Amino acid sequence: MFVHAHPDDESLWTGGTIARASRRGGEVSLVTCTWDRGTTRHGELLDAADELGLAREPIMLGYADSFVPESAPGATSFVLAPFDEQVTALVAHIRELRPHILVTYDAFGMYGHPDHIHANRLTCAAADAAAIGAYHPELGDPWQPSSLYFITIPEATVTALRPHLKEDSHLPLTGTPNERIDLALDIGDCLGHKIRAILAHKTEISRSASMKDFGALPRDPQQLFLRWESYLRRDLVPGGADLA
Q: In which band, very low, low, confident or very high, does the pLDDT at 170 lie, cut at 50, 70 and 90?
A: low
Q: What is the pTM of this model?
A: 0.96
CB neighbours (10 Å) of residue 85? 11
pLDDT score recorded for residue 165: 81
Per-residue pLDDT tens digits for 55-78:
999 999 999 999 999 999 999 999
pLDDT score recorded for residue 172: 63
Could you give the CA distance from residue 187 to residue 200 in angstroms, rounded to a whole number? 19
Amino acid occupying residue 191 = L
Would you say residue 168 has pLDDT above 80? no
Could you give the CA distance from residue 229 to residue 126 in angstroms, rounded to a whole number? 24
Q: What is the CATH number of domain 2-235?
A: 3.40.50.10320
Ramachandran angles phi, psi of 181, nearest 5°: -70, 125
Q: What is each CA distance from 194 to 18, 49, 50, 74, 75, in whole angstroms?
A: 9, 10, 11, 32, 30
DSSP β-ladder status, 228-235 and 147-152: antiparallel
Could you give the CA distance from residue 124 to residue 134 in angstroms, rounded to a whole number? 18
Q: In which band, very low, low, confident or very high, does the pLDDT at 22 lie, cut at 50, 70 and 90?
A: very high
Could you give the CA distance from residue 242 to residue 108 in angstroms, rounded to a whole number? 23
Nearest one of 1, 19, 30 to 187, comparing CA atoms: 19
Nearest one of 178, 175, 190, 184 to 149, comparing CA atoms: 184
Per-residue pLDDT tens digits for 127-159:
999 999 999 999 999 999 999 999 999 999 999
Q: What is each CA distance from 200 to 44, 160, 204, 217, in whole angstroms?
A: 6, 27, 9, 19
Per-residue pLDDT tens digits for 95-107:
999 999 999 999 9
Amino acid occupying residue 188 = G
All residues at 6 or more sequence positions from 78 whose CB lies less than 8 Å from its CB, including other chains: 5, 33, 34, 61, 63, 64, 65, 66, 115, 118, 119
All residues at 6 or more sequence positions from 221 whose CB lies less than 8 Å from its CB, including other chains: 160, 161, 164
CB neighbours (10 Å) of residue 50? 14
CA dihedral 82, 15, 103, 47 (to 10 degrees): 40
Instruction: Tell me what the mean pLDDT of segment 229-234 comes to.
Output: 98
